[in-house]
Amino acid sequence: MIGYLAEFKTGAERKDAAENTMVAYKAAQDIALAELAPTHPIRLGLALNFSVFYYEILNSPDRACSLANQISFNSTINAYATSGLYSEAKCIFQEMQDCRHAADSFSYLALIRAYTEDKLYTEAEEAIQMMLNIGPDGHVASLRD
């Protein structure tokens, strides 16, 4: 509801509404990232609405597209990994790294779980190492150098 205020207010009222909306979206996103699987409809809907907010209210199309891309990458990795489509999941991981998007922990864990369930221990270990090499900026250390 707060986000709608930013759509029609002007001046300082619009700025205040946009700031309040940003705080609410960030809090909701933190909860969604911690509690919901990447393919959960509420998490996906929140990400879509947040990216629209960046685009329409904050006039930040680059940030809107970046958020939408990261969410779609993570959802795709999770769906592939849990379906046993490992090579596809690994390709998406590589594409994310090439585009400098960071996979989230749910995506890594889905891939690791899928590998171990199918007794692909070497691949699981590689995914764990990749996850451990993530730097504070969210990118694999070797890609930051």
Spell out the per-residue pLDDT of the chain, length 145, in tens: 566 777 777 889 888 988 999 999 999 989 988 888 777 888 888 888 888 888 888 888 888 877 877 777 777 777 777 777 877 877 777 777 676 666 666 677 777 777 787 787 888 888 788 777 765 555 554 443 3
* pTM (2 d.p.): 0.59
Structural domain range at position 123: 2-144
- Crossing angle of helices 41-56 and 11-35, rounded to 10°: 150
Look at the chain and report how many structural domains it folds into: 1
Judge whether 100 and 139 are in contact, CB under 8 Å.
yes
Q: How many CB atoms lie within 10 A of CB 31?
A: 13
